[in-house]
């Protein structure tokens, strides 16, 4: 295979022509269980020498969840407890 048609060169060309998407910073409430799951996913990838950030794991999860059917997504969402956020009420 010559250099012009190699998959690596095609990938480089694709990456250089893409516009960078604007990053929006937000904060979210996560439970200790959620944080543990993020760490477990990162460890699985690290076992294969792939390093992921917490933010990347969350974005990956969104991509996977987006591919679910509405019914599957609703069923999965019903299994996860809602988090009550905010400041505690004063006495």
pLDDT tens digits, 33-90: 999 999 999 999 999 999 999 999 999 999 999 999 999 999 999 999 998 887 777 7
| Cα first-last separation, the chain | 74
| The model's pTM | 0.68
Which residue bears the tokens 């799951």? Answer: 37
Distance between CA atoms of residues 41 and 47, nearest Å: 10
pLDDT tens digits, 6-15: 455 444 455 5
What's the average model confidence in pLDDT over 18-40?
91
**pLDDT for 5 beyond 60:** no
Q: pLDDT at position 9, please?
A: 47
Q: Do residues 78 and 70 make contact, with C-beta atoms less than 8 angstroms apart?
A: no
């Amino acid at each position: 295979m010559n250099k012009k048609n190699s998959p690596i060169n095609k990938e480089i060309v694709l990456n250089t022509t893409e516009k960078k998407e604007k990053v929006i910073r937000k904060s979210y409430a996560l439970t200790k269980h959620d944080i543990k799951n993020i760490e477990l996913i990162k460890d699985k990838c690290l076992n294969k020498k792939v390093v992921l950030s917490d933010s990347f794991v969350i974005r990956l999860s969104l991509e996977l969840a987006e591919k679910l059917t509405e019914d599957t997504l609703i069923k999965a969402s019903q299994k996860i407890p809602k988090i009550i956020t905010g400041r505690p009420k004063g006495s």
